[in-house]
Structure 1
Amino acid sequence: MAKKTHGTTASGVPITDELVAELAEKAEAGYGVDEILRRRGGRPPIGSVAATVESVRLDPDLREALSRRAERDHETTSSVIRKALREYLDVA
């Protein structure tokens, strides 16, 4: 009979009762400061300080133009928006 799983981790490892018990044991034993502070994945920083996230509403035509431009330039839509704002606001 197959082991019961509770989904998978981000890397695709099945989450079994055994894995849960192993991770709980590690957590109860405690973690070193270096292990906690070590950067793991996530988005890389944009500059030397933390960036903020701003929301903006786009009408469908503008959203489509943004998507086409990002695809054409092989960039993310966020990158295209940042470049456009830098140019418009004359900020390096």
Structure 2
Amino acid sequence: MSGDETIDGVPVTEAQIDAWAAEAEAGYDVGELKRRGRGRPGRASEPTQVVALRLTADELASIDERAAREGKSRSEVIRAAISATAA
């Protein structure tokens, strides 16, 4: 491990990796895993789609700056911009 791996900004240690491996080797309760649900919760009453979008570094930086300024996620800023122009 190079030492650069993090989860939410917290470094991942060899001890943590060993603990995860031991947990996996012990096996998981499949019934419990299925009960948890799958994926992210929906954001609407109807199904949503993931859409790939190519942006330049400058466009992405602008979106991220606005998101930080407004305390929103990147996705929220993009959705708001689409809603404002698609109406």
TM-score range, shorter chain: 0.5 to 0.7
Distance across 2 between alignment mates of 1:58 and 1:65: 11
Instruction: Structure 1 unaligned segments of length 5 or more: list them.
Output: 9-13
TM-score, length-scaled by structure 2: 0.63
Amino acid at match of 1:36: K
Shift of 1:49: 2.2
Aligned-pair identity (%) = 27
Could you say if the C-alpha distance between residues 36 and 88 of structure 1 is closer, same or farther in structure 2, counting changes exceeding 3 Å? same
Distance across 2 between alignment mates of 1:86 and 1:36: 35
Distance across 2 between alignment mates of 1:77 and 1:18: 34
Instruction: Structure 2 unaligned segments of length 5 or more: list them.
Output: 1-14
Residue 11 of structure 1 is matched in structure 2 by: none
TM-score, length-scaled by structure 1: 0.60
Larger radius of gyration: 1
Matched position secondary structure for 1:15: helix
Residue 40 of structure 2 is matched in structure 1 by: 43
Where in structure 2 are the equivalents of 1:16-27 lying within 5 Å? 17=22, 20-21=25-26, 23=27, 26-27=29-30
Q: What RMSD in Å do the two structures reach over aligned CA positions?
A: 2.9
Size of the aligned set, in residue pairs, is 73
Distance across 2 between alignment mates of 1:55 and 1:16: 33
Q: 1:67 aligns with which of 64, 67, 70?
A: 64
Shift of 1:51: 1.5
